[in-house]
Amino acid sequence: MISFNLDLDGQGGPLTTPNRSSPDPAAEVPDAGDLRLRYYPDPVLAQRCRPLGAPGPAAQACIQRMFELMYEHQGIGLAAPQVGWNARVFVANVDPDEPTTDAERVFIDPQVDPIADLREVAEEGCLSLPGIRLDVERTRSVRVRALGFDGEPFELETDDLLARCIQHENDHIDGILITARVSTLQRIAIRSDLRELKSQWDKQEGRT
């Protein structure tokens, strides 16, 4: 069983970025200092994010801030909507004890495809859903085409934990949360947890 924090009520969807007849507008770049971890049921977690393209200095600062927040909250992956940024960007480091540039990975405007039909179930958590763990079925290996931190395109084939992390974070930038990837019985089992998270979020946002 694999248990880890990643960055839930959402709609199911394909692994690959959906094709659109007309391109989405480009993502705006916020001030990196404004980024903070967002929690269920923040509406930002349910949106399909906008493409970013090659990052300039301001976007790179936001990406660096995402790594800071990911480590602060003891995660191995974090997607832009989880920090309030509407952009098709996520970061990962499946070995967080090694916060080096070699271990850190940046995925901008990714396209994710399964390599084979082999699937497996493992336990996942989500930084935006503290305290919740669900058994999620994923493809074991994936191929990713994306832009990196320097704006250069790259292709990666990977499996196991990194492949699972990539699929989890890629779901986030399509507004898909892990509750959409599990059985009805699992969703029923966490109803009270979701109600508690919503109550906490309402208080934080001044809605009560």
The answer to whether residue 196 sits within a structural domain is yes
The answer to whether residue 19 sits within a structural domain is no
pLDDT of residue 206: 85
pLDDT of residue 100: 65
Instruction: Read off the CATH number of the domain in which 189 is found.
Output: 3.90.45.10
Average of pLDDT values for 54-68? 98
The answer to whether residue 13 sits within a structural domain is no
The domain of 84 spans 32-204
User: Which residues in the chain belong to E strands, given as ranges?
Assistant: 77-79, 89-92, 105-114, 119-126, 129-139, 141-147, 153-159
pLDDT band at residue 123 using 50, 70 and 90 as cut-offs: very high
pLDDT of residue 182: 96
- Whether 1 shows a pLDDT value over 80: the answer reads no
Number of domains the chain contains: 1
Biggest CA–CA distance in the chain, Å, is 48
The answer to whether residue 17 sits within a structural domain is no
The answer to whether residue 9 sits within a structural domain is no
The answer to whether residue 27 sits within a structural domain is no
Q: Considering only residues 98 and 117, tell me which one the structure prediction assigns the higher pLDDT.
A: 117
From the list 123, 169, 196, 205, the catalytic residue is 169
Tell me the whole-structure pTM to 2 decimals: 0.87
Q: What is the mean pLDDT of the chain?
A: 89
178 contact partners, CB below 8 Å, separation of at least 6: 8, 10, 124, 126, 129, 134, 136, 168, 171
Catalytic, 169? Answer: yes
Nearest to 172 by CA among 59, 9, 26, 2: 9
Query: Residues 75, 198, 134, 163: is their CA dihedral positive or negative?
Result: negative
pLDDT band at residue 23 using 50, 70 and 90 as cut-offs: low
pLDDT, tens digit (0-9, with 9 covering 90-100), for 141-155: 999 999 999 999 999
Q: Considering only residues 3 and 138, tell me which one the structure prediction assigns the higher pLDDT.
A: 138
The answer to whether residue 81 sits within a structural domain is yes
The answer to whether residue 70 sits within a structural domain is yes
